[in-house]
Amino acid sequence: MAKEKSIYVCSECGGTSPKWLGKCPSCHAWNTLIESVPESSTPTKNRFASLAKTSGIAVLGEIDAVDFARTPTGHEELDRVLGGGMVEGGVVLIGGDPGIGKSTLLLQALDSLQRSGQRTLYVTGEESGAQVALRARRLGLDNSQVSVLAEIGLEKILATLEATRPDIAVIDSIQTVYSEQLTSAPGSVAQVRECAAHLTRYAKASGQADGDTRGRATSIVLVGHVTKEGALAGPRVLEHMVDTVLYFEGDTHSSFRLVRAIKNRFGAVNEIGVFAMTEKGLKGVSNPSAIFLSQHAEPVPGSCVMVTLEGTRPMLVEIQALVDNGGPSPRRLSVGLDKDRLAMLLAVLHRHAGVACMDQDVFVNAVGGIRISEPAADLAVLLSITSSLRGKPLPKGFFAFGEVGLAGEVRPAPRGQERLKEAAKLGFSVAVVPKANLPKNLKSKDFEELTIHAVERVEQAMDVVRDLG
């Protein structure tokens, strides 16, 4: 019998090569080729079927726009990220670092759904049923009636789904599932892509068969591992196939976890949910602003509070800056903020406000481990740097937000009034904001406790802060 030839598949792009090479010929990545067995050339049934149900041509205006029914998971923060709950027939992909709490959160959610009358199924390919039961006991889920299946064969999983018809099914994880139609190992690019496509096809087709009374369609949650760079392991097409992509964020040494929606066909993107890891699992944090604010008895130099917008939720975050005497090559370091943007802001501060930091070490940090990507933090960063340089703290109850341009102008931030309301609700009293974000009705109940200083340029903001100090 002739020896079966092997091929080498790139773990990044899925490109193939007949022999091992240091660099992938397709995407030019180094050391990514992995030996694999070529797939069978014989055609297989139903391998490349469409994900959704096929239909004829229809006029868009004549199609009934039916809203998707949502099922609350019993966890308010998770529902917020999902856009209100699990959508019937929807597919959710949730990724994150090992040990961050993906399986814990989903087991808690499945238990809540089961207790509310939903049929649930937890498919585990990484643990045995006894290990899942032990985790449930640790989480305080006594006498949980969640169905558990320890299986990694795709065909057996699909057969179980057809037989049991659950409302919500969790696949933990998609990298462990394999299809018998392919000869490659579980976790390979081909296997992950194929298994995810079959499971997505099942979710879309369930409950839609002609003359079938199976009721509601099955919602499927896929758990995915991430690479050391933080991206989801496997092909990028995995994120395109599913309806919702969630990412777990947060440091493992911290008790707080953030779940961020990267993609959501049924809700807002960039929405975040904040959880606290406790002995009884993950608990939602109703007031996340308290996490990202340091508790100072008195105002300290180099600290400025800003209101950031994560999805539809305004949150107060403390920006800390430390300016110190630097050597021949001053350092610029930022944690939670863009490093290049910090360098740009320092140039604007020097050119338009006359504050020079070219011989100083500048360190900027966003408290609580949150990553701020929006430019509305610019004004707070500049004010915290100036406060640290002068050695004078900003007034108690002070906050600021606004984007700063290269010409020194202060641009408005989106949904400024909601930011002001959130700060006023938490007891803040003095604000420096862009002029375009100044509320039209300052005598309103929401703003009566606020003293708002509207500015158009950076130098105006600096003058306001000097007068306040």
The mean pLDDT value of the chain amounts to 87
CATH number, position 134 = 3.40.50.300
Question: Which of 286, 314, 339 is the last residue in one of the domains?
Answer: 286
Query: Is there a domain that residue 461 lies in?
Result: yes
Q: How many CB atoms are located within 10 Å of the residue 1 CB?
A: 3
Instruction: Give, in order, the Cα–Cα distances in Å from 191 to each of 78, 180, 194.
Output: 29, 10, 5
216 shares a domain with 80 = yes
Q: Does residue 444 share a domain with residue 366? A: yes
Q: Quick check: is 410 in a domain?
A: yes
Q: Considering only residues 427 and 5, tell me which one the structure prediction assigns the higher pLDDT.
A: 427
Residue 90 lies in a domain: yes
Residue 109 lies in a domain: yes
* Amino acid at position 135, single letter: R
How many distinct structural domains can be found in the chain?
A: 3
* 415/332 same-domain check: yes
What is the value of pTM for the model shown? 0.78
Interacting residues of 226 by C-beta distance below 8 A, sequence separation 6+: 95, 96, 97, 232, 233
386-411 tens-digit pLDDT: 999 999 999 999 999 999 999 999 99
pLDDT for res 208 = 59
46 found inside a domain: no
**Quick one: 205 and 352 in the same domain?**
no
Q: Per the domain annotation, does 58 fall within a domain?
A: no
Residue partners of 182: CB distance under 8 A and separation at least 6: 39, 190, 191, 194
What local confidence, expressed as pLDDT, does residue 312 receive?
81
Burial 162-193 (b: 16+ CB within 10 A, else e): eeebbbbbbbbbbbbbbbebbbbebbbbbbbb
Confidence of residue 213 (pLDDT cuts 50, 70, 90): very low
Residues 192 and 299 in one domain: no
Say whether both 99 and 201 belong to one domain.
yes
Task: Name the residue type at position 38.
Answer: P
SS (H, E, C) 54-84: CCCCCCHHHCCCCCCCEECCCCHHHHHHHCC
pLDDT bin (cut points 50, 70, 90) of residue 207 is low
Helix H or strand E segment including 178: none
Residue 353 placed within a domain: yes
**Same domain membership, residue 187 and residue 303:** no
Encoding tokens for residue 92?
Answer: 């959710």
Taken in order 231, 234, 236, 237, is the CA torsion positive or negative? negative
Domain that holds residue 17: 1-37
Residues 224 and 146 in one domain: yes
Domain CATH number, residue 458 = 3.30.230.10
At 248 the three-state DSSP class reads strand
Residue 216 lies in a domain: yes
Confidence tier at 32 by pLDDT (50, 70, 90): confident
How far apart, in whole angstroms, are the C-alpha atoms of residue 190 and residue 368?
39
Of 228, 257, 286, which residue is a domain's last?
286
